[in-house]
Amino acid sequence: MPVPIVALDFQTASEALAMVERLGDACRFYKVGSELFTAAGPQVVETLRSLGSDVFLDLKLHDIPNTVLGAARSAAQLGVRLLTVHASGGQEMVKAAVEGAGEKCGILGVTILTSFDAPGLGMAWGRGKVDVRREVIRLAGIAHMAGAHGVVCGGREAGALGRKYGPGLRLLVPGIRAENAPADDQKRTVTPAAAAKAGATYVVLGRMVTRAADPRSAMLAANLKPDAG
Ligand code: C5P
């Protein structure tokens, strides 16, 4: 059963913390991404930690190895449990992130964003045809070789990654939607149940929870077990 992580994609700390209060014990793990971190900074991470929640800092770092090492070290000092870097930054960069993060903060390598489908990716990369699954497997290999805790992937690729790299490479799956719900800007969506079946270690629940009329009910309907890890 994957650990659910709710994405606090809000403009202010007060909106984010109001959502945490509404969810109560239905969620113990929160994702702080670039929107909230840019607005509210490390303080919001510290507040979430003081409330007893685990924090996934989703900054999707991509820079020279020395800079990424420093950023990962700073994130680990804040007490975050998970931090993302782009696997396409290369093995040396991901390795630097792992070194900077130390034992207590797991580095996740982002493979191909779930907002991409094959034509969109081909366009972005200036290539006619791109096999998304093949690229996800290739990029996950970089993260694996670099000693990352895991990777971020679409639910549709999770099964293949589990078979290829085994349980040592954890799988975090965003782009989660209830059956027949609108995909918004996401392209490679799956239901919570499909992500669980594919072997996801963690799932990120975003708008399907935070934009629901009743977020707590939407969270409980996903039928996942909250766990502070
Ligand atoms: O609202 P929604 O469920 O689409 O939110 C998905 C969340 O997961 C967003 O915060 C987004 O930044 C994040 N994410 C993603 N795809 C990735 C990595 C992270 O959608 N590959």
Q: Which residues pair with 54 in a beta bridge?
A: 29
- Kindly give the number of the ligand 1 atom that is closest to the alpha carbon of 112: 21
Residue 175 Cβ inside 6 Å of ligand 1? The answer reads yes
Give the model confidence (pLDDT) of 181-194 as tens digits.
999 999 999 999 99
Q: To test ligand 1's pocket by mutation, which of 58, 115, 139 has the most ligand atoms within 8 angstroms of CB?
A: 58
* Selection from 218, 229, 155, 217 nearest residue 3 by Cα: 229
- At 128, is the pLDDT very low, low, confident or very high (cuts 50, 70, 90)? confident
Residue 229 above 70 pLDDT? no
The percentage of the chain sitting over the pLDDT mark of 70, rounded to a whole number, equals 99
Give the Å distances, CA to CA, from 106 to 49, 51, 56, 159, 193: 16, 21, 9, 21, 25
Q: What is the DSSP string of 63-102?
A: S-HHHHHHHHHHHHHTT-SEEEEEGGG-HHHHHHHHHHHT
The 3-state DSSP class for residue 171 equals strand
Distance from the CA of 221 to the center of ligand 1, in angstroms? 19
- Kindly give the number of the ligand 1 atom that is closest to the alpha carbon of 177: 3
Residue 70 above 60 pLDDT? yes
Nearest CA to ligand 1 atom 6: 206
Residue 210 Cβ inside 6 Å of ligand 1? The answer reads no
Segment among 94-98, 147-151, 186-190 with least mean pLDDT: 186-190
Angle at alpha carbon of residue 171, lines to 168 and 176, rounded to 5°: 165
Residue 186 Cβ inside 6 Å of ligand 1? The answer reads yes
Instruction: Show the domains of the chain with their CATH numbers.
Output: 3-221 (3.20.20.70)
Nearest CA to ligand 1 atom 8: 174
Q: Return the active site residues.
A: 60
Residue 228 above 70 pLDDT? no
Question: pTM surpassing 0.85?
Answer: yes
pLDDT of residue 129: 86
Residue 7 Cβ inside 6 Å of ligand 1? The answer reads yes
Residue 2 Cβ inside 6 Å of ligand 1? The answer reads no
- Kindly give the number of the ligand 1 atom that is closest to the alpha carbon of 204: 8
Residue 37 Cβ inside 6 Å of ligand 1? The answer reads no
